[in-house]
A = this chain, B = another copy of it.
Amino acid sequence: MNRPNKRRQTPEQVSELTTNRLSVYLRCLNELDAAAVETISSQALAEQFQLNAAQIRKDLAYFGEFGVRGVGYYVKDLRRHLRQILGLDQHLRVVIMGAGNLGMALADYPGFRQEGFEIAALFDAANEKIGHESRAGVPIYDIKELRRLARRERLDIAVIAVPAPQAQPVVDQVIQAGIKAILNFSPGSLKVPAEIKLKSVDLTVSLESLSFFLAQHEAPRA
């Protein structure tokens, strides 16, 4: 029933918009599965979020034919496929650069562990932090130890939570250590070689986008 008979493992270049949606679908399927729902149609799935059913079918069709005509998608089945497509069957190890407020909060963020990510370590340059650990027990190492740790243990993803001026040098060290995927929370643009995947979450830009909205819609205040 679930032999993706076409285009299996042929993701050529799927847009990031598509893969982001896959994450969203997966979360929804987790909930449906927990609620013991057996099958779901693209239509029903689309109604959950603000989305078109054809969009969902197209997104999934990049990776195989997971559905059954006349029925929809088997929840367990599709969930398993999405986890595999997103690489979540692999247990990825994450390090967080910067043990400030944000870094510590991210280290203990329950959402990460939930989907199978392991927060392996925090790194900081401040002596007084090194040797301690986050509330949830993530150890804080000296940033100089990064390469050593990376050699000993596999590290898949680095999260950048250092102040803006340190961001580029820290990213350079992360790349030196052989880490290929970076989630950046520092503001401003970072330079990375083409083979490295950098994803940035810019909190200031997000707030300013709301500010723009208010400026356009609110009666211009006195």
Q: Which residues of A contact B (CB under 8 A)?
A: 11, 16, 19-20, 22-24, 26-27, 48-50, 85-88, 90, 92, 94, 100-102, 104-106, 108-112, 114-115, 117, 135, 156-157, 163-164, 180-183, 187-189, 195, 197, 199, 201-218, 221
Contact = CB atoms under 8 A, between A and B. Distances in A.
B189 A206 contact: no
A204 B117 CA distance: 10
A213 B181 contact: yes
B208 A115 contact: yes
Nearest to A211: B87
- Copies of this chain present: 2
A114 B110 CA distance: 29
A153 B176 CA distance: 50
Nearest to A217: B180
A196 to B, nearest CB: 10
Nearest to A197: B213
Given A180-B217, A188-B27, A189-B48, A205 B105 contact: no
Nearest to A110: B163
A27 B202 CA distance: 12
B210 A183 contact: yes
5 contacts: A19-B212, A23-B208, A114-B204, A181-B214, A201-B203
A91 to B, nearest CB: 10
A212 B87 contact: yes
Given A48-B189, A86-B208, A115-B204, 6 more contacts: A19-B212, A24-B189, A101-B105, A156-B211, A181-B210, A201-B201
A187 B217 contact: no
Given A16-B209, A105-B104, A204-B23, A215 B112 contact: no
